[in-house]
Structure 1
């Protein structure tokens, strides 16, 4: 049955399968590290710092990875990402006495490089596989890929906890290493060699985007993800544990379910934004409206917490609303970057965009720990609202439709 599909569909399924397999191990590895070091007595803030290099190297990887993908092909960058994740898992198989913080941070740095190479390759590949002018199909394919990734990341959280319980830390890491190594071997043998390769070799100096719409969208994306992580990465789990009295497993399970639901909403975002109706695809108007709506949510939660208006209920309800609206925003942005990107050397534009995405995550991660520790959750939420408002203002500079010069 697989052989009867068109070459483009087969390649899309292979790319998506690679992305899914990687995402499962990425989510499971994060949960394994969190739980293992929690058992060793590390505080939530200390655990969060283990992932600092993971986020930092995402900034560098997306910028350089986009250039690399345009020169050598997206099949190679995706396979390099899978292989680096296998190496990162192998690094965690050292004897327990050698599993010290600097070593784990180095392994997480390698995993961060692998993750962003894989994501950049997967998102860029869709542009190369969808025919020109089929923007509705492009939006749907991007939405499915993006939504399924986040759903599986939540599944990965559960998988990490389950493997840790059944196999222990080393056994869980070894099981994931073997499984991902098999996926990598299959990918090496099946992905098209010239997928996403530019017709001319781009110079290293061409990594920075010269497109106004992509620069504005990238700036909005940085603010959007900084707004999420400034309260979601450290402040929220610590608040749930210290102020609401939730145990570690309850916090982890809730966040896993939240991420899974968030991914489901991303997958159906085309229907929520009216895409596909008479061939319409979203543009500036939808990006501004959905960002403005999102800015109100953390503001409302902050006010409820400040005035002590059933803080726990307000936080949980606000989380659900925030997740829903944020998922639509994220899916919209993911479609717009692929639509705006130049088809020839698409990974250059997508890599630059996801570099901004990684900068937002890095900014949010650092601010989340510092602002919460000094000023509390309400301050994190107010900063989140402000960052989303900035994203909405920046989005006013986006074109209503994709620029014709981009060849979308």
Structure 2
């Protein structure tokens, strides 16, 4: 605590926001793995388990759209704390006896968790815009990359945590432990997080939730297709394929995907080093287009590789690792650009609109992943993924070429 008070107010608030985001992310990743593993042992099929997360994605779309408006009204500190509190409630709902864990109950708890997650994420990403001076875009990019990358790395750690807790203290015990830990974090956040952070100087109108910035609208559309491209094969198709076609047991599938997510987060954190320009200027919209083009052909290449005599496991594993690196850089660039484009006054309106598109992409990808894989197989999912990334690259052609943060 003494070390925390010794740093500058901006850094202190950044550390508090990041700490909140980390704690939430650990429980979010652990909860997902706990639900997957627990309901797998209860006899649910992979597609039935995926259906349990449907409301999680749907409510993410709504929350990002309305959460940005709420943040501009009441402040980002409050929306972040509301998210933490809702996650505690979602965890407590799941401590009921196993016989009571019906599909509607679990879907309802996942809906609350989806609301909580996107309130927390929107608040964290928006807060950084207000904690970095406007004339230091390099520092903004670095802080956004660290926050985004560390979040995804910790989500992978959360997968491991969920499996460990299930094996040691069981499903109900894990829910109680995580709810208690997160409640403790919530109390500290209420006390220490800056009041009225991100509160708009003028009360926004409800129609202001729809962005009027061309750059933000185009970046949001590109983001939707980018994340749809990931989830159309990663969410359902890939784990089912690894299990059914390669014969991997559930622990190997979960462990491999957790390691992938951790590595993905690490690459996101160092994306500013990877994308550094020779003139030391921060990347602009042109960079987003170039990196999307680099990614666009990879899923199709994996699909073609599966039609050759090459070992299928090598094609999928190596392809997935390369995909993770390229996708992480794309994602980190996008995360920086939206924070940079957003207006200072009412920043959460712009960031919330953008992450609504992100959630919409995840929802579309999740639904297509189940349907396309079940109907046509993994290779079809990969071709759809390539088409989606190509659309993201095409949309990114219209992004501003020189990085200029929009201020209001």
Shorter-chain TM range is over 0.9
Secondary structure in 1 matching 2:169: helix
Matched-pair contact (CA < 8 Å) for 2:286–2:400: no
Q: Which residue of structure 1 lines up, in the alignment, with residue 119 of structure 2?
A: 117
- Count, aligned residues: 406
RMSD: 1.0
Structure 1 residues 42-121: aligned runs within 5 Å: 42-121=44-123
* Structure-2 change in CA distance of 1:279 and 1:407 (3 Å): farther
Q: Which residue of structure 2 lines up, in the alignment, with residue 127 of structure 1?
A: 129
Q: What is the deviation of 1:403?
A: 4.1
The equivalent position to 1:187 in structure 2, one of 185, 189, 206, is 189
Q: Which residue of structure 2 lines up, in the alignment, with residue 327 of structure 1?
A: 328
Is 2:400 the counterpart of 1:402?
A: no
Q: Which residue of structure 1 lines up, in the alignment, with residue 33 of structure 2?
A: 31
Q: Which residue of structure 1 lines up, in the alignment, with residue 169 of structure 2?
A: 167
Q: What is the deviation of 1:286?
A: 1.1
Matched-pair contact (CA < 8 Å) for 2:66–2:352: yes
Q: Which residue of structure 1 lines up, in the alignment, with residue 241 of structure 2?
A: 239
Secondary structure in 2 matching 1:215: helix
Q: Which deviates further from its counterpart, 290-299 or 139-148?
A: 290-299
Q: Which residue of structure 2 lines up, in the alignment, with residue 177 of structure 1?
A: 179
Q: What is the deviation of 1:401?
A: 2.0
- TM-score, normalised to structure 2, is 0.98
Is 2:18 the counterpart of 1:16?
A: yes
Which whole-Å CA distance do the structure 1 matches of 2:48 and 2:133 have between them?
A: 47
Q: What is the deviation of 1:296?
A: 1.4
Q: Which residue of structure 2 lines up, in the alignment, with residue 365 of structure 1?
A: 366
Which whole-Å CA distance do the structure 2 matches of 1:104 and 1:284 have between them?
A: 41
Which whole-Å CA distance do the structure 2 matches of 1:298 and 1:403 have between them?
A: 32
Which whole-Å CA distance do the structure 2 matches of 1:182 and 1:3 have between them?
A: 20
Which whole-Å CA distance do the structure 2 matches of 1:71 and 1:86 have between them?
A: 24
Structure 2: tracts of 5 or more residues without a match = none
Which whole-Å CA distance do the structure 2 matches of 1:153 and 1:49 have between them?
A: 20
Q: What is the deviation of 1:194?
A: 1.4
1:224-251 alpha-carbon deviations (Å, 9 max, x no partner): 0000000000000000000000000000
Q: Which residue of structure 2 lines up, in the alignment, with residue 345 of structure 1?
A: 346
Which whole-Å CA distance do the structure 2 matches of 1:201 and 1:342 have between them?
A: 14
Structure 1: tracts of 5 or more residues without a match = none
Q: Which residue of structure 1 lines up, in the alignment, with residue 318 of structure 2?
A: 317
1:202-229 alpha-carbon deviations (Å, 9 max, x no partner): 0111100000000000000000000000
Which whole-Å CA distance do the structure 1 matches of 2:6 and 2:151 have between them?
A: 26
Q: What is the deviation of 1:2?
A: 1.2
Q: Which residue of structure 1 lines up, in the alignment, with residue 228 of structure 2?
A: 226
Matched-pair contact (CA < 8 Å) for 2:227–2:365: yes
Q: What is the deviation of 1:311?
A: 1.4
Q: What is the deviation of 1:278?
A: 4.9
Q: Which residue of structure 2 lines up, in the alignment, with residue 156 of structure 1?
A: 158
Q: Which residue of structure 2 lines up, in the alignment, with residue 255 of structure 1?
A: 257
1:271-327 alpha-carbon deviations (Å, 9 max, x no partner): 00006x654110122111110111111011000112343211010000000000000
The list of structure 1 runs, each at least 4 consecutive aligned residues, that deviate by more than 4 angstroms after superposition, is: none
* Structure-2 change in CA distance of 1:308 and 1:56 (3 Å): farther
Q: Which residue of structure 2 lines up, in the alignment, with residue 203 of structure 1?
A: 205
Secondary structure in 1 matching 2:261: helix
Matched-pair contact (CA < 8 Å) for 2:285–2:403: no
Q: Which deviates further from its counterpart, 285-294 or 251-260?
A: 285-294
Q: What is the deviation of 1:132?
A: 1.2
Q: Which residue of structure 1 lines up, in the alignment, with residue 388 of structure 2?
A: 387
Which whole-Å CA distance do the structure 1 matches of 2:286 and 2:134 have between them?
A: 23
Matched-pair contact (CA < 8 Å) for 2:231–2:366: yes
